[in-house]
């Protein structure tokens, strides 16, 4: 499990486009992506 980390709002929301950005703690790690690709998940 990942350690809790404070993330400023400016890293969670792109003001210019209005796009919400996923919190870093919920993003897949490189290892997660590698395993998913090996299993054929999409």
Does 2 reside within a domain?
no
Does 15 reside within a domain?
yes
1-42 tens-digit pLDDT? 667 777 777 677 777 887 777 767 777 888 888 888 898 866
Does 33 reside within a domain?
yes
pLDDT given for residue 6 in this prediction? 79
Does 3 reside within a domain?
no
Range of the domain at 20: 9-39
pLDDT given for residue 38 in this prediction? 92
Does 30 reside within a domain?
yes
pLDDT given for residue 2 in this prediction? 64
Q: How many helices, marked H, and strands, marked E, lie in the chain?
A: 1, 2
Does 23 reside within a domain?
yes
Structural domains in the chain (count): 1
**Sign of the alpha-carbon dihedral angle for 30, 36, 40, 42:** negative
């Amino acid at each position: 499990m990942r350690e809790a980390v404070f993330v400023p709002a400016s890293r969670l929301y792109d003001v210019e486009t209005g796009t919400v950005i996923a919190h870093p703690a919920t993003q897949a790690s490189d290892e997660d992506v590698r395993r998913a690709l090996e299993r054929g998940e999409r």
